[in-house]
């Protein structure tokens, strides 16, 4: 009896330690970004593109990278959704009874998830060379969407898996087809989870540097067409951090701060939207 109680105490302690470790590292990251980034944060940083002496610590901002990153990750997320949502619904509504087959698909998606993003970047670059496309926003959007597609599908799939078979049967019994069940019942039941899954993929898209390194290139201008090269925030951070000039390095932290704030804002918006639909969810 006493042994069991000690066991309980030990595991509880381990749990508290790991939770505090994770939260502490999160706070440490956020704190260091704010601490190092705030001093060089200015309206200029978010409202201007780099001017002549920007890379020597003079005037200008990183509006080009902010806009570029938003274009790129919104584009890639939408493109990945166009494929990802139908794939995940197909796996859970149409192929529901072929469990072994669906588990095979899940296995391959997990493999794809594990591939480092630089490999996707190199793959995208190889295709671009073959087709004779230059570094551009379009090439970046396509590469990043391929990179986040397995992440998105698996995340959506985990959410859709939670729909109970009883609800599926109930919808079919009312004479709805599988596609009506998929779009009117499955999506409505899981919309908060789906929003989170899409957001997770968006976070991966906006935060990844390696996949855009060869494919989108870098420029000081805001792109006016999807065929132009585009700057992105992760690469802006990367280039600024590598600078020998103190002011430029400190701007890298400001850029990281901007990236963090964008992700935070989008999480909050998604939470608000999903909370609105959450009330219809049937709890089982």
What the block records as the tokens of 190 is 């899981």
Shortest Cβ distance from residue 283 to other proteins (Å)? 6
What the block records as the tokens of 249 is 């390095």
**In this structure, are residues 159 and 152 in contact, taking their beta carbons and an 8 Å threshold?**
no
What the block records as the tokens of 15 is 């749990």
Q: Going by C-beta distance under 8 Å and a sequence separation of 6 or more, which residues neighbour residue 91?
A: 102, 105, 106, 153, 157, 160
Q: Going by C-beta distance under 8 Å and a sequence separation of 6 or more, which residues neighbour residue 114?
A: none
**In this structure, are residues 217 and 236 in contact, taking their beta carbons and an 8 Å threshold?**
no
281 binds other proteins (CB under 8 A): yes
CB closer to other proteins out of 27 and 107: 107
DSSP letter (8 states) at residue 216: T
Task: Find the binding residues for other proteins in span 67-106 (CB under 8 A).
Answer: 96-99
CB closer to other proteins out of 134 and 276: 276
CB closer to other proteins out of 48 and 196: 196
276 binds other proteins (CB under 8 A): no
Number of residues that bind other proteins (CB under 8 A): 28
Task: Find the binding residues for other proteins in span 252-271 (CB under 8 A).
Answer: none
Give the C-alpha separation, 64 to 76, whole Å: 18
CB closer to other proteins out of 157 and 208: 157
Shortest Cβ distance from residue 276 to other proteins (Å)? 12
Give the C-alpha separation, 195 to 181, whole Å: 19
Task: Find the binding residues for other proteins in span 146-205 (CB under 8 A).
Answer: 164-177, 180, 184-185, 188-189
Q: By three-state DSSP, how is residue 174 classified? A: coil
Shortest Cβ distance from residue 271 to other proteins (Å)? 19
Shortest Cβ distance from residue 277 to other proteins (Å)? 9
2 binds other proteins (CB under 8 A): no
Q: Which residues bind other proteins (CB under 8 A)?
A: 96-99, 164-177, 180, 184-185, 188-189, 279-283
């Amino acid at each position: 009896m006493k042994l069991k109680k000690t066991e309980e105490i030990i595991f509880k302690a381990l749990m508290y330690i790991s939770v505090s470790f994770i939260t502490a590292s999160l706070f440490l990251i956020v704190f260091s970004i704010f601490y190092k980034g705030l001093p060089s944060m200015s309206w200029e940083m978010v409202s201007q593109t780099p001017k002549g002496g920007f890379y020597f610590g003079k005037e200008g901002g990183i509006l080009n990278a902010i806009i570029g990153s938003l274009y790129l990750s919104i584009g890639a997320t939408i493109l990945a959704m166009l494929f990802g949502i139908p794939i995940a619904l197909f796996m859970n509504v149409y192929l529901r009874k072929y469990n072994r087959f669906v588990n095979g698909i899940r296995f391959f998606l997990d493999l794809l998830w594990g591939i480092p993003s630089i490999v996707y970047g190199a793959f995208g670059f190889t295709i671009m060379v073959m087709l004779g496309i230059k570094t551009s926003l379009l090439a970046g959007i396509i590469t990043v969407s391929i990179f986040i597609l397995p992440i998105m599908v698996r995340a959506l799939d985990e959410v859709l898996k939670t729909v109970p078979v009883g609800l599926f049967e109930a919808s079919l019994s009312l004479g709805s087809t599988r596609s009506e069940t998929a779009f009117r019942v499955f999506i409505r039941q899981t919309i908060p989870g789906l929003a989170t899954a899409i957001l997770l993929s968006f976070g991966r898209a906006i935060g990844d540097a390696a996949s855009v390194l060869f494919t989108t290139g870098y420029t000081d201008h805001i792109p006016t067409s999807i065929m132009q090269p585009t700057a992105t925030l992760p690469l802006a951070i990367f280039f600024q951090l590598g600078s020998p000039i103190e002011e430029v390095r400190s701007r890298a932290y400001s850029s990281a701060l901007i990236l963090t704030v964008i992700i935070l804002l989008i999480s909050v918006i998604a939470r608000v939207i999903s909370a609105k639909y959450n009330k219809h969810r049937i709890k089982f």
